[in-house]
Amino acid sequence: MLRFVHISDSHISTPDFAHYGHRSYPNFEAVVSAINALPFKIDFVLHTGDVVENGAAEEYALAKPLLAQLRFPIYYANGNHDNSDLLQRELIGIHTPNERYDCTFSIKGVQIAILDSSNRRDHTGILTESQLEALRSLCTSEGVPLIIALHHPPVPLDTPWLDSGWCDSNGELCGTMLLENWQAFQSAIAPARARLRGVFFGHIHHACQVWNNGILYCAAPSTFGQLASYPEQRAPQPTPEQPIAFNLVSIDGEQVIVRQVAIPRPATSAA
């Protein structure tokens, strides 16, 4: 049995940084406490990106001691709000950062591949041709159970603002949340569907599960704040009344269980 906690989009900045009345830092403190208080052991924590808000060194310096309080190992995907170099140096301990932060590791016979989907130009997501080539080599039909993680959603979610973009208050078209080359991603992973236990992502600030072509796609809610994602919804809409949360994933043979664990916002979260 492999168990992990999937968290995402913590957006840590200053201790007082707030959006729609809630502070990201005390929210994340509450999440760390809740994970540490789980009455059973997990194998690791997966953070699918946007650890910090602006990719700034001071933000990673604030986040680091809080993340160090976790009593389980943590693995990261690089998000569009992250700085890949600082994420690798400050949180992962890589002295000479890679251009893109991809990694693979194995725990209890399950292979986990984390991909850096951040487009360095803007907030959209893309995988390079060399990343797709590596993914094709990884995703053969034969092999051990496999998990893939990345920040941007690699599957359409029946929500126009996520799938096709939206206009901001100035009428400027914002890029899509959907991974730009999601079809190439899906083609690359398809041969491994029988051993692929799930594709885990964040970015959308909303818990969501999709069953597509025999593969489970699963988004973690944000530990900061959620956004509504409904069919026909054409612009992002904060839902500050929703609690912060994380996903608890159990993998036993071919069975995958995803539980969402909601946490009351701490009193200190209110801005």
Binding positions for Fe ion, rule: CB under 5 A:
50, 79-80, 203
DSSP code per residue over 186-239: HHHHGGGTTTEEEEEE-SSSS-EEEEETTEEEEEPPPSS--EE--TT--S-EE-
Residue matched to tokens 């946490």: 263
Question: Which lies closer to Fe ion via its Cβ, residue 27 or residue 80?
Answer: 80
- State in angstroms the smallest separation of the CB of 179 from Fe ion: 12
Least Cβ distance, residue 147 to Fe ion (angstroms): 20
* Nearest CB to Fe ion, comparing residues 138 and 227: 227
Q: Which is nearer to Fe ion, 29 or 50 (CB)?
A: 50
Beta bridge partners of 18: 23
Cβ-based neighbour number of residue 263 at 10 Å: 16
- Residue closest to Fe ion when measured from CB atoms: 203
Encoded tokens for 92: 């992962």
The one-character DSSP state at 180 is: T
Q: Least distance to Fe ion from the beta carbon of 79, Å?
A: 5
Task: Name which of 86 and 146 has its Cβ closer to Fe ion.
Answer: 86
Q: Please tell me the number of Cα atoms within 13 Å of 247 on its side-chain side.
A: 27
Residue 81 CB, shortest distance to Fe ion, in Å, is 6
